[in-house]
Amino acid sequence: MKYLSILTLVPLVGALAVAFVPRSRPQLAKQLAMLVSLVVLGVAVATWLAFKTGAGAPRLQLQESYNWIPAWGAKFAFGVDGIALVMIALIALLVPLVILSGWHDAERSQRSVPAYFALLLALEGMMIGNFVATDVLMFYLFFELMLVPMYFLIGSFGSDVQPKQRQYAAVKFFLYSLVGGLFMLAAVIGLWVLGGHTFDWQTLTDAEFATNAQRWLFLGFFLAFAIKAPFFPFHTWLPDAGGAAPAGAAALLVGVMDKVGTFGILRYCLPLFPEASRWFAPWAIALSLVGIIYAALLAVGQNDLKRLVSYTSIAHFGFIGIGIFAFTIQAGSGSVLYMLNHGLATGLLFLVVGMFVARRGSTMIGDFGGAGKLVPVLAGVFFIAGMASLALPGLAPFVSEFLVLIGTFTVNKTVAVIATVGIILAAAYVLWMVQRTTQGTLNDKLRDIEPMKKDLSLREGVVVAPLIALLLVLGFYPKPVLDVINPAVQATLNGVVSPERSDPAPATTVEAGK
């Protein structure tokens, strides 16, 4: 079965079908979009089951290849390793939940319902395309094309509170990403010229590049990925985009789309340019450390819920960056697990924030206060999402954060100690957010707002339940996911770790569930 081409094409074809639904039939558009997303989820489950783990299993599996531009050596080439597989699973899970969560969003804004859900499906297909591509040119095209649906989701379906702000945020998001894409395009062309006129990832990993060429090519890819992630100081677009986007689109933007940046570093920068990766590693770690502290301090000072959650994500990406460039198996596996767990936790947090905003009509923390007295169940879910964001033990993000720190500590104690300051600041901004929003004296204005008297609905419960369940299960037993991740991380680092540090970690595999 051609799992990967099906995963990529079904949401794209579904997006076209939904887009042609008459605007006068919004219910049909919703139902069709949900059906398509559930089909993708089913295929993703089948893909996970078909993926082989254990000794002797190849790194890239379920490969497909179709001729595209023979003169350039370009193909429609698909394949997944453990890193890509967990991200595909995250996309397939989040999209139907986002569709269900935003069931009434487009109607409330009096915009085209079919267009909204078609854009979500198009975004899903393009994000999956990034993770399954094993042709560098194909990856670049998906990397750029996925900007288009997100641009319209922010600019056309974003916040109605400040319409000018959403247009500004959409343009800023697009321009930042486009500039990063231009750096990558230059690097892709250089890679093709120096790599033997091919875009095949496997062939390019075996190619030899001169030291200076490696460093320039690495820099072109890294800048694009650092902007996408984003890492400090390329982060300024994210709070604006996350704050202006609809809650569901923001969940996909921060929970999945940004992970294309960190995935790209693992898939392209490290294996293709190992010497350059070692040379740039101290700089990347320094940027990650600054991002952890700087973004956490800015999060503490935010009074806008969606911008606050966006700043927390910048801090979390700092931990992912440290784990990648520590070059240990534990830290690397922790980073990939962090990519998954952050998507679950931040996706949940954005969706719950969206539920609060839909009831109150405001994103400002000062407009809430004591809301838990009116919506106690929703407030409880908000608390769980906040605790997951600060990596409370027993919830999934704690496992990944712990692996990153312990893996980093074995090779650089100073970096690990400084990074722990971000954990302290995380407790500060999350507890402050929860306390100001749902605890304390009830804001009298909330009594007069009818939607604020409606607690978590059945539809909303169905949205949050799977995410909470996964955060709890992976918090206590992450072994099934780590078994998928570990071989790909080890294969990635085998070509990067210098001869002086041929044993990159005290243990060559991460033992989970112990």
- No. of helices (H) and no. of strands (E), the chain: 22, 2
pLDDT in tens, 338-395: 999 999 999 999 999 999 998 888 889 888 988 889 999 999 999 999 999 999 999 9
- The CA-based angle 142-147-151, given to 5 degrees, is 160
CA distances from 36 to 116, 153, 282, 386 (A): 14, 19, 44, 31
* SS3 at position 52: coil
Chain position carrying tokens 């689109």? 249
Distance CA 139, CA 186 (A): 14
CB distance 359 to 375 below 8 Å = yes
Q: Could you count the other beta carbons within 10 Å of the beta carbon of residue 498?
A: 11
CB distance 408 to 319 below 8 Å = no
Q: Which residues pair with 77 in a beta bridge?
A: 65
- What angle separates helix 113-132 from helix 26-50, to the nearest 10 degrees? 20
pLDDT at 501: 39
Q: Could you count the other beta carbons within 10 Å of the beta carbon of residue 460?
A: 22
pLDDT at 495: 80
pTM, rounded to two decimals: 0.94
User: Whole-angstrom distance between the N-terminal and C-terminal Cα of the chain?
Assistant: 36
Q: Is 193 left (phi over 0), alpha (psi -120 to 50) or beta?
A: alpha
Tell me the residue ranges of DSSP E strands in 17-138.
61-69, 74-80
**Alpha-carbon dihedral sign for residues 223, 341, 2, 51:** positive
- What angle separates helix 305-325 from helix 413-438, to the nearest 10 degrees? 160
* SS3 at position 13: helix
Residue 490 token pair: 């080890």
Candidates 94, 3, 7; CA nearest to 49 is: 3
CA distances from 300 to 91, 310, 385, 425 (A): 29, 12, 17, 8
Residue 190 token pair: 């250089």
Chain position carrying tokens 């641009």? 151
Q: What is the dihedral of CA 70, 76, 77, 79, to 10 degrees?
A: 180
Q: Which amino acid does the sequence have at 57?
A: A
Residue 510 token pair: 């991460």
Which residues are CB-contacts of 158 (< 8 A; sequence separation ≥ 6)? 166, 169, 170, 244, 245, 246, 249
Distance CA 426, CA 405 (A): 15
Spell out, as residue ranges, where the chain has pLDDT lower than 50. 499-514
Helices (H), 301-375: 305-325, 329-360
Distance CA 204, CA 195 (A): 6
pLDDT at 503: 40
Residue 395 token pair: 């919830």
CB distance 386 to 423 below 8 Å = no
Candidates 327, 59, 324; CA nearest to 202 is: 59
Q: Is 245 left (phi over 0), alpha (psi -120 to 50) or beta?
A: beta
Distance CA 430, CA 385 (A): 10
pLDDT in tens, 429-469: 999 999 999 998 888 888 888 888 888 999 999 999 999 99
Distance CA 358, CA 487 (A): 43
DSSP, res 454 = -
